[in-house]
Amino acid sequence: MKPVFADSVYFFALLNARDRIHERAKHYAAQATLPILTTAWVLTEVADGLCDRASRHAVVRLWQTLQSASDAEIVLPSPELFHRGFERYRLRPDKDWSLTDCFSFVVMEERGLTEALTADRHFQQAGFATLLG
């Protein structure tokens, strides 16, 4: 069974009850049947966004949950993946895609994934289905 890609938008929504898509993210998490795949860059983005003292524990708990889950995979950085992601970033000056998004797109393409847990329109621009939009 192919996993679904989990973007930072999904994790931010799960961890913040005031997020506009919190209920959609929570609903998906409660009914999830597919494994999830994410990257260390996505988790870095989440940790950077929630680095305040009040939120840091939630990020640590998220990391621990993902690390111990049999149905979750975190793709770790490698020099090759970094170069491929940065090349995507360089080649698309017409888009406002973040470097993290470019890493995500490369990983999704390499794994043959077509769906992402996100509401980020950049994923749609890159040809992927967004499950939270």
Condensed to tens digits (0 to 9), the pLDDT of residues 65-119 reads 999 999 999 999 999 999 999 999 999 999 999 999 999 999 999 999 999 999 9
Residue 92 pLDDT: 97
Q: CA neighbours within 13 Å on the CB side: how many for 122?
A: 18
Q: Show Cβ contacts of residue 87 under 8 Å, excluding neighbours closer than 6 positions.
A: none
Its sign, for the CA torsion 93, 99, 105, 107, is: positive
Mean pLDDT of 7-21: 96
Give the residue extent of every domain in the chain.
Answer: 4-130
Q: Which residues pair with 75 in a beta bridge?
A: 39
Count of CA atoms in the C-beta half-sphere (13 A) of 48: 9
Predicted pLDDT of residue 32: 87
Mean pLDDT of 51-74: 95
DSSP state of 40: H
pTM for the predicted model, two decimal places:
0.94
Residues 6+ apart with CB under 8 A from 60: none
Higher pLDDT, 1 or 131: 131
Q: Looking at the domain that runs over 4-130, which CATH code has it been given?
A: 3.40.50.1010
Q: Under a CB-based contact definition with an 8 Å cutoff, are residues 89 and 81 in contact?
A: no
